[in-house]
């Protein structure tokens, strides 16, 4: 897989506030594919990591192919509404879906969609790999992970933590944290990390596992406090933040990712073309300059590598739910 660090500056330029659907427009070229607008589905509200990645990928495809690319936000049910639309769409390359570990986990472990996630989609490429950041509202009397554990144990069920939805990686990652630290905290699910961040900023909740992409601006401004990163190693672009494992929970490791898929049955020639163009797009100097310092690594690869990542995500969280008896 190819890697390089990408970052937050691009969030300032992608126009999140224009609404649930945005179009990156350019004249349509006459090539066989694409010959009409491409739609990229996102299963969460504007402002979250999936939305940001969809707009970044869409902008690059539009510029390279001179074809319109539409970002279509369909939030709800932990991302499975958009997943269902993509699953039922014609396999012609004109409907794509940005997925995350959260959406895959929700569909496989919680919602139990009526199809096998492993075979329902044609993987194209992974886009990124990134740790989640454990964010705290500044008024919470815990400045590091050890202080958080101590406070949670002395105040059981008095800390509310947000997530991007029941069964999301942000949810199950905190359930893993609770299991490994033997603490009790209340879960407050939202329809995406964007709304969850808003309530964290307002103090309605005290904790959130959020992607580096969506959380970085609030860390820079000082409106939120970062207690650590969830990955097994420190983020190369957030080296000042300890991992949760080294900060007090040995063995803890949760890594987020984004990828892009098409409906199963999409022609292999189209999948290869998308894989090639997205790989090039994510490694252009333009993208590197825009995304300069968010703690996310571009990690494009093959369809088979993405298929393997999906299977591993499902297996990992299914095992957690079974071993803890977690009721979802």
Q: Would you state the pLDDT for residue 11? A: 39
Q: Would you state the pLDDT for residue 7? A: 42
Average confidence (pLDDT) over 19-31? 44
241-251, pLDDT tens digit by residue?
999 999 999 99
Cross-strand bridge partners of residue 297: 5, 129
Average confidence (pLDDT) over 118-133? 91
44-93, pLDDT tens digit by residue?
888 877 888 899 889 999 998 998 999 999 998 878 899 999 999 999 99
**Structural domains in the chain?**
2-129+255-324 (3.40.190.150), 131-229 (3.40.190.10)
* Angstrom distance (rounded) from CA 78 to CA 86: 15
Tokens 């945005």 belong to which residue? 22
Average confidence (pLDDT) over 166-188? 93
Least confident of 13-27, 101-115, 144-158, 173-187: 13-27
202-259, pLDDT tens digit by residue?
999 999 998 877 777 888 888 999 999 999 998 877 888 999 999 999 999 998 888 9
pTM for this model (two decimals): 0.77
The answer to whether residues 207 and 174 touch, using CB atoms and an 8 Å cutoff, is yes
Torsion angle of C-alpha atoms 138, 207, 74, 212, degrees rounded to 10: 70
3-state SS string over 148-207?
HHHHHHHCCCCCEEEECCCCCHHHHHHHHHHHHHCCCCEEEECCCHHHHHHHHHCCCCCE
């Amino acid at each position: 897989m190819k890697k390089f660090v990408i970052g937050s500056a691009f969030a300032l330029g992608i126009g999140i506030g224009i609404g649930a659907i945005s179009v990156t427009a350019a004249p349509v070229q006459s090539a066989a594919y694409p010959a009409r607008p491409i739609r990229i589905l996102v299963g969460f509200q504007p402002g979250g990591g999936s939305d940001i990645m969809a707009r970044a990928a869409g902008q690059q495809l539009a510029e390279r192919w001179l074809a319109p690319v539409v970002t279509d936000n369909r939030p709800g049910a932990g991302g499975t509404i958009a997943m269902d639309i993509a699953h039922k769409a014609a396999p012609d390359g004109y409907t794509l879906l940005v997925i995350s570990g959260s959406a895959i986990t929700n569909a496989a472990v919680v919602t139990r969609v009526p199809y096998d996630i492993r075979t329902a989609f044609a993987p194209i490429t992974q886009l990124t790999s990134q740790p989640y950041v454990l964010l705290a509202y500044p008024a919470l009397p815990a400045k590091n992970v050890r202080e958080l554990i101590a406070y949670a144990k002395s105040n059981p069920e008095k800390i509310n933590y947000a997530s991007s939805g029941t069964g999301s990686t942000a949810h199950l990652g905190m359930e893993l944290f609770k299991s490994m630290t033997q603490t009790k905290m209340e879960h407050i699910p939202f329809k995406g990390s964007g709304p969850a961040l808003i309530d964290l900023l307002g103090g309605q909740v005290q904790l959130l596992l959020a992607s580096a992409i969506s959380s970085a601006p609030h860390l820079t401004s000082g409106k939120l406090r970062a207690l650590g990163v969830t990955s097994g190693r420190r983020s190369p672009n957030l080296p000042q933040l300890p991992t949760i494992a080294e900060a007090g929970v040995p063995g803890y490791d949760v890594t987020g990712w984004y990828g892009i898929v098409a409906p199963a049955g999409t022609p292999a020639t189209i999948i290869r073309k998308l894989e090639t163009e997205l790989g090039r797009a994510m490694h252009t100097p333009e993208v590197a300059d825009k995304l300069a310092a968010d703690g996310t690594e571009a990690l494009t690869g093959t369809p088979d590598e993405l298929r393997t990542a999906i299977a591993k995500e499902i297996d990992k969280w299914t095992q957690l739910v079974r071993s803890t008896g977690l009721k979802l």
